[in-house]
Amino acid sequence: DTGVSQNPRHKITKRGQNVTFRCDPISEHNRLYWYRQTLGQGPEFLTYFQNEAQLEKSRLLSDRFSAERPKGSFSTLEIQRTEQGDSAMYLCASSSPDRGLIFGPGTRLTVT
Amino acid sequence: AQSVSQHNHHVILSEAASLELGCNYSYGGTVNLFWYVQYPGQHLQLLLKYFSGDPLVKGIKGFEAEFIKSKFSFNLRKPSVQWSDTAEYFCAVMWGSNYKLTFGKGTLLTVNP
């Protein structure tokens, strides 16, 4: 398999701007997850999809965050009106029963 | 609330030393347990996992972990570390079956040559 890919790898934006990240999971995986990791912390669950259905959202995911997976393949995570506290690494993962979660390289967001 | 604790923030060892990294989780029930590793400049990779069966699990690169249900623990071990083991190690727990993992804060391992 080609692994999980994420774009862009780095994003610098000014406070108040909107940003969108993309994740392409491993093609045969029907579950896709978004996590966020800040400095000195482990990854924190944000949301996950089974095919195109968003099945769970963390309380960490404020109204400014929205995630979609329109055709059950790639997913996007949008943050509106970014704040400095949104600066973090955003991780995407897909899963298989025998391998567990396979993570992508992440998108590092810096809000100035 | 479900939580995962990793006891050591930073561990420094010399090559050939033995390693044990602690991991405890908040309460029982059915759990699946994982250790992930993040090498410098790379993304998270699965080191080993426990779903059921033998509580002593062997993973890649000579690592192993032991699940002790009575202690809510899943400690990671390696008998002899190498410089290339320098990385951050994360313990993670899954309650349920949807791969919603709860991670510990991680332990940074530095191995000096």
Checking phi first, is residue B105 left (phi over 0); if not, alpha (psi -120 to 50) or beta?
alpha
Q: What are the pLDDT digits (tens) for B44-82?
A: 999 999 998 999 999 999 999 999 999 999 999 999 999
Give the torsion sign (CA, A37, A65, A45, A72): negative
Paired sense of beta strands B19-21 and A44-50, if any: unpaired
- The answer to whether residue B109 scores a pLDDT higher than 90 is yes
**CB A22 within 8 Å of CB A104:** no
Among chain B residues, CA nearest to A46? B100
Q: What pLDDT, on the 0 to 100 scale, is given for residue A44?
A: 94
Burial class for B6, CB neighbours closer than 10 Å (0-12, 13-18, 19+): buried
- Average predicted confidence (pLDDT) for chain B: 93
Tell me the count of A-B CB pairs closer than 8 A.
50
For residue B82, the distance in angstroms to the closest alpha carbon of chain A comes to 24
